[in-house]
Chains A and B, each alone.
Chain A
Amino acid sequence: MDEQIPFFHNVQLADNPEPRCPCVVVLDISTSMSGDAIEALNRGVRQFIQELSTDSLASRRVEVAIVTFGSSVQLAADFTSPRSLLPPHFKAEGATPMGEAVVRAYSVLQSRKEEYRRAGLSYFRPWMFLLTDGAPTDAHSKHWKDAVRLVHEGEANRHLLFFGVAVNEADQAVLNTLCPPKRPSLKLKGLQFGELFSWLTASLKSASASAPGSAIALPPTNGWATIEV
């Protein structure tokens, strides 16, 4: 028998037929995030994964992927259940290829949706959650144009829920050209990644217990903005 042995069987799809709520988190880890910011981000991500894993229903429905951008665009974690995601430790370095990162995140999302379809699983409206503290260094590239188009089309067809969050000195004006017009970017207070990710957890819990298209009651964004979906 020359058949190769797959490293991990992807049994998750057959073993857990719950509808899925995919969420891709797109993180800026460029040089400007060095120091306290990257540490706070690392902690926030870890807490996010922990909190999601402890909710019995959400941990069976929500799937998280992480795309980072800095020196390069990386798929730091492909879609998996929060219980089997070991969050990587991010180091801050490099530029801000945000457009490329969004395009990559979008394609990771598309292929996961294709896997759901093949496995006969239904899924809730996917989330893309982007965090940045700068301005895209690829704003004049094709990537950026594609990113803007993908986000806007996805939102218009209700195939995507996009959230942009600005950290520190982020260029919110540019970020808002990426965000869907009806949901402009939010500004993070200080480095309160903990609060931010708790909010994301709570929102994903309520989204994954609801159904796509229906109005999802998102919790208030304590002190940083109100979001209407």
Chain B
Amino acid sequence: MPVFDETGRAWELGPKIAAGGEGVVHQLLHAPEYCAKIYHSTPLSALKQAKLKALCGLPKELRGNLALPLSLIFSQRGGSQALGVILPFIQGHDIFELYNPQGRREHFQKADFAFLVAAARNLSIAFKVLHENGIVMGDVNEQNIKVRPDATLSLIDCDSFQIEHHGQRYTCNVGTPLWTPPELQGVSLSELERTPNHDAFGLAQLIFLLLFAGRYPFAGKPLNSEPLPPEAAIAKFAFAFDPTPKERLLEPPPAAPPFDSLPPSLRNLFLRAFRRGSELPSARPSPTEWITELQALGGSLTRCPSWPAHLHWKGSAACPWCGILQTARVELFPAPPGTPSNPEGAPASHGAWVDRLLALSFEPLQFGPPSAAMQTAAVNALELEVTSWMPGFLRRIPFVQRNINASHLNELKSRVSQANQTVGSFSNQASTLFLQHFAQAQPLLKSAHDTAGKLKSIGTPSSKAVAQVLARHQLRELQEHLERQLLHRAQVAGLGQSRRATLQSYQIITAWDVTEAALLALPGFGMTLTRKLLDWRKLHERDFQLSYRPPTAIQGNATFTAAVQKEADELVTNAKRLLSQINEVKSRYASSFATLQAAYHDAYAKWTALETRIKQLSAMM
């Protein structure tokens, strides 16, 4: 369908990109840099149309940050009732896909903490520009900001913004409870004047989400058993990370970065944004204040020595991401694909390897939906099935058409249940495939856990190296003790002068020298005497055992340190090998799964195509 802009130029609407509450967004054919939003309820009110027109007339400098409409569009050339607007098409992903750890792994694989800080700063810049031009976003939310792969971003859904144009104010009448500041919770938003201080709440919440791994400032562990839903928590200013709240309703959630992993000046901005008092005019931090602090944070990041992909503020007591890995076994910043997991030269501490090994898991993969193209192709294939052999003129006769359709419909119906079962059978195949690979991975996971356990106990008496060192120490002490026990002072029945002389001449002088082998080699030493001498030695051994205290401080001992190092090296080598073996099983699993998924997509597309055709044909009957 052609539509016309204000200059009378024709545009052809392409496929639908997305549908929102207010309208449908379409591609424009042959103009990939633009799209068109067509409103559900047309004709638009005079006020709405005037607002859209005013938006088109806002300063050009704003376009770098906002997806401002370029022109109204009409169904005829020179029309007066607008259907919608032409918008620049904004590439990128919704901002929640960036701050959510799962979304980040899917859509922003290379984004490390520095990237998140940069995005937060760019976001603040966009709001600064907006506010300087007298615009208030109003409906700040997770779906109205698109982030590009270089951390720049654009605000979309501009038609809801509050703007002033030629002395006329156009309000923002919508909001999302999860994003509404405390002072506006439960308040009717229609015709309400929004202020930059309202936007400052949403801005602060977005920055918080970006810097705190997707944690919501108002979500935490409730202190009493009653749950505190997000909007109630916001209304009560229950900022879960506040270290000294007036009244504590929520504790910070587990497995979240600690509040003091950021510099005090930034923490202070969050407290000003979320505490009671923030609702007062201009109380919340302005975009400029955020820009300054985020700029400073970007310049004071450091790399964690145990995992180079972990970037954090250099003043933080510990690496927050290692902390989360330890408590929740979740790696929030895996090394981006293609980089070695532990680049040479970056020494990983034993602790880091323990966490890495314990975080290993092997989970089933899930089928995604087939592509739209595949589904369309399957529908087309079905249409061709019946008619391709028939000359065109025959197909166009209504009677012939109806008959073909009727018999085709019956045939399709007979196939649909089989097709559905085929689709259903894939879940069994998927489980089998998973279990096959899991069987290979399980012993490796078990070893990984064992290795982690050994690494953890390194330097403690239960570790192999320490046990060896201790055993050697004890033996040496025993020897010294026995060497102090001189034979010539021994009271052993039957040991006369001549025998003592024999012992002496054979260099058997202390208890340490008294061994069965040595005694049996002596001339004239019978079994009885030998046994008695050995008993005498045992007596002193027992004395030693009773008084021996293993050393408590062998840490500084060079042998000990070397032994520990050697054991650690062996274990880390083992850990690396296990990691790569598990990854190997994972990638074998992934590639078999991809093959299965392709078959599943094919079956799924065929089945839905049958359903679609059946619906179409039934409607025609």
Measured CB to CB, the residues of A under 8 A from B are 1, 3, 5-6, 8-9, 11, 14-19, 39, 42-43, 46, 50, 53-54, 56-57, 60, 83-89, 113, 117-125, 194, 209-214, 217
A211 to B143 alpha-carbon distance, docked (Å):
15
Query: Are B330 and A123 in contact, CB atoms less than 8 angstroms apart?
Result: no
Q: Which of B63-71, B219-227, B264-272, B499-507 contacts A (4 or more CB under 8 A)?
A: B219-227
Q: Are A214 and B231 in contact (CB under 8 A)?
A: yes
For the complex, is B245 an interface residue (Cβ under 8 Å from A)? no
Residue of B nearest to A84 (CB): B366
Bound Cα distance A213, B186 (Å): 10
Q: Which residue of A lies closest to B232 (CB)?
A: A213
Which of B143, B221, B420, B427 sits near A117, CB closer than 8 Å? B221
Q: Which of B197-205, B249-257, B546-554 contacts A (4 or more CB under 8 A)?
A: B249-257
The reply to whether B96 and A18 form a contact with Cβ atoms under 8 Å apart is yes
Residues of B within 8 A of A (CB): 21, 94, 96-97, 100-103, 142-143, 176-178, 213-216, 218-222, 227-233, 240, 250-256, 324, 328-330, 332, 359, 361, 363-364, 366-369, 417, 420, 423-424, 427, 430-431, 442, 445-446, 449-450, 452-454, 611
| Additional A-B contact list (18), CB under 8 Å, known A16-B100, A16-B101, A86-B431 | A1-B452, A9-B361, A14-B328, A15-B330, A17-B216, A19-B178, A43-B611, A53-B368, A53-B369, A56-B94, A57-B142, A60-B102, A83-B368, A117-B222, A117-B227, A120-B253, A212-B230, A214-B231
B361 touches A8 (CB 8 A): yes
A121 with B253: CB separation less than 8 A: yes
Give the residues in chain B near A60, CB-CB below 8 Å. 96, 100, 102-103
**B330 to chain A: which residues have CB within 8 Å?**
11, 14-15
CB distance B427 to A86 under 8 Å?
Answer: yes
Task: Indicate if the CB atoms of A1 and B143 lie closer than 8 Å.
Answer: no
Q: Are B177 and A210 in contact (CB under 8 A)?
A: yes
A50 vs B598: C-alpha distance in the bound complex, in angstroms?
16
A113 & B227 in contact (Cβ 8 Å cutoff): yes
* Given contact pairs A42-B420, A212-B229, A122 touches B97 in the complex (Cβ within 8 A): no
A3 engages B449 (CB within 8 Å):
yes
Is B361 a contact partner of A122 (Cβ separation < 8 A)? Answer: no
Residue of B103, B143, B359, B430 touching A86 (CB-CB under 8 A): B430
Shortest Cβ distance from A50 into chain B, in angstroms? 5
Closest chain B CB from A4 CB (angstroms) = 9
Report the separation of the CA atoms of residues A60 and B445 in the bound assembly, to the nearest whole angstrom: 28
Nearest A residue to B456 by beta-carbon distance?
A1
Contact A42 B363, beta carbon cutoff 8 Å: no
B100 adjacent to A14 (CB under 8 Å):
no
B16 to chain A, nearest CB (A): 14
> Judging by beta carbons under 8 Å apart, are B230 and A211 in contact?
yes
Residues of B within 8 A of A83 (CB): 366, 368
Residues of B within 8 A of A209 (CB): 143, 176
The closest CB in chain A to the CB of B424 belongs to A89
B424 touches A42 (CB 8 A): yes
What would 11 A/B residue contacts be, using CB atoms closer than 8 Å?
A: A14-B324, A16-B100, A16-B101, A19-B178, A46-B423, A50-B369, A56-B103, A57-B94, A60-B100, A120-B250, A120-B256
CA distance A60 to B417 in the complex (A): 32
B449: which of A1, A15, A118, A125 is its contact (CB, 8 Å)? Answer: A1
* Alpha-carbon distance between A95 and B427 when the two chains are bound, in angstroms: 27
Q: How far is the CA of A188 from the CA of B611 in the complex (A)?
A: 19
Set of chain A residues within 8 Å of B102, measured between Cβ atoms: 15-16, 60
Residues of A within 8 A of B229 (CB): 122-125, 211-213
Distance in angstroms between the alpha carbons of A60 and B143 in the assembled complex:
13
With contact pairs A50-B369, A57-B142, A122-B219 given, residues A19 and B424 touching in the complex (Cβ less than 8 Å): no
Which residue of chain A lies nearest to B252 when distances are taken between CB atoms in the complex?
A120
- Among A16, A54, A122, A124, point to the contact of B218 (Cβ < 8 A): A122
- Min Cβ gap A181→B in Å is 24
Point out the residues of chain A lying under 8 angstroms from B430, CB to CB. 86
Chain B residue nearest to A51 in the complex (CB):
B369
Cα–Cα distance between A160 and B525 once the two chains are bound (Å): 94
User: Are B611 and A194 within 8 A (Cβ)?
Assistant: yes
- What's the minimum C-beta distance from B393 to chain A, rounded to whole angstroms? 36
From residue A62, how far is it (CB to closest CB) to chain B in Å? 14
Residue in contact with A57 in the complex, picked from B21, B96, B230, B368, CB distance below 8 Å? B96
Residue of B213, B216, B430, B442 with most chain A CB atoms under a 10 A cut-off:
B216
**Which residues of the other chain, B, contact A117 by a CB distance below 8 angstroms?**
221-222, 227
In the complex, chain A residues whose CB is within 8 Å of the CB of B452:
1
Complex Cα spacing A39 to B424, Å = 11
Q: Which residues of A contact B328 (CB under 8 A)?
A: 11, 14
Q: What CA separation (Å) do A213 and B213 show in the bound complex?
A: 27
Within 8 Å CB of B251, what residues of A? 120
Whether A17 pairs with B231 at a CB distance below 8 angstroms is no
Say whether B227 contacts A123, CB under 8 Å.
Answer: yes
Asked if A18 contacts B100 (CB within 8 A), the reply is yes
Least Cβ distance of A202 to chain B in Å? 10
- CA of A190 to CA of B324 in the docked complex: distance in angstroms? 51
Within the complex, the shortest CB–CB distance from A219 to chain B, in Å, comes to: 11
Is the Cβ of B420 less than 8 Å from the Cβ of A43?
A: yes
Partner of B228, one of A18, A122, A125: A122
